Chains A and B, each alone.
Chain A
């Protein structure tokens, strides 16, 4: 079965970096969102099984996205990929239901390891 994933980041470069760090031959359908609002609207339509989420974004930031997903029980698998690596931030996103936190720039081995851990490969 093909998984559908959504990459939400305000930076086009960061979205490409995430996509490029996916394991080879990972059978996925990739969609992109450039801010939190777009991501929430897409998640409402249940178009993605896995969400790769940035935190520092205009319109609606990653923390607000996590809060809304939790509230609406829309959270599937959320993996936060952020440059905001403060311990408190990592704790906050985990409390809000994110599976994992990966620091930017994204490391493909770390990503694969997490995907494997949650049986997403």
Chain B
């Protein structure tokens, strides 16, 4: 087991970078959906790969969810994965929000559009603040009704023991639609991001 600890200053610094990135993402989403997006303070913690599926199961229980998983690759070894999680009973509301007729645009297409807006705006916002450039892979869609989310999380954490996990919630309260974003920065990338955070902290 690798020993990694994150200091209070580093956590605070990362949280502020995340705040700005998620603020931009929620602004884009709010404009796209023409509604207000409620934000909460993001939650940051270190998680081990073994506890990841368990933590996921505890949050979502037996609820049917759709997950969009997308890898990202920045300079200086800043890499990781973004997960966007939608509850099935909420996805029904998106067509309503967007004013689509039933069957006009598939639910999956709507989720993909929303995910793309959130992920790209968020990652670009983060990259800009740390003077980095981030590329991303194509998103993979995993629906809990077809595939096991647990299996995907196990595959995802195959190469690492520990990850920095950032949990963000975008809540469209007017329509009962939530999107949870989980950012995973695993293994050696934790130390790389710590270096970036330390550099920022030195400036202040």
Contact = CB atoms under 8 A, between A and B. Distances in A.
Interface of A: 10-14, 16-17, 20, 56-58, 82-89, 103-105
Given A83-B20, A83-B23, A13 B41 contact: no
Nearest to A104: B20
B204 A16 contact: yes
Interface stretch (B11-19, B64-72, B97-105, B148-156): B11-19
Contacts of B123: none
A120 to B, nearest CB: 23
Interface residues of B, number: 23
Contacts of B88: none
Interface stretch (B32-40, B45-53, B55-63, B137-145): B32-40
Given A56-B19, A84-B26, A85-B27, 19 more contacts: A10-B41, A11-B16, A11-B19, A12-B9, A13-B201, A17-B16, A20-B204, A56-B41, A83-B19, A83-B20, A83-B23, A84-B27, A86-B30, A86-B31, A86-B36, A87-B27, A88-B30, A89-B36, A104-B16
Contacts of B9: 12-13
Given A58-B41, A88-B36, A14 B16 contact: yes
Contacts of A82: 23
Which of A13, A17, A104 gathers most chain B CB within 10 Å?
A13
Nearest to A105: B20
A12 B40 CA distance: 17
B135 interface: no
A87 to B, nearest CB: 8
B204 A84 contact: no
Contact of B16 (A13, A20, A88): A13
Which of B9, B16, B40 gathers most chain A CB within 10 Å?
B16
A67 to B, nearest CB: 16
Contacts of B26: 84, 86
Contacts of A87: 27, 30-31
Nearest to B13: A13
A6 to B, nearest CB: 19
Given A12-B9, A13-B201, A16-B204, A86 B37 contact: yes
Contacts of A10: 41
A43 B36 CA distance: 29
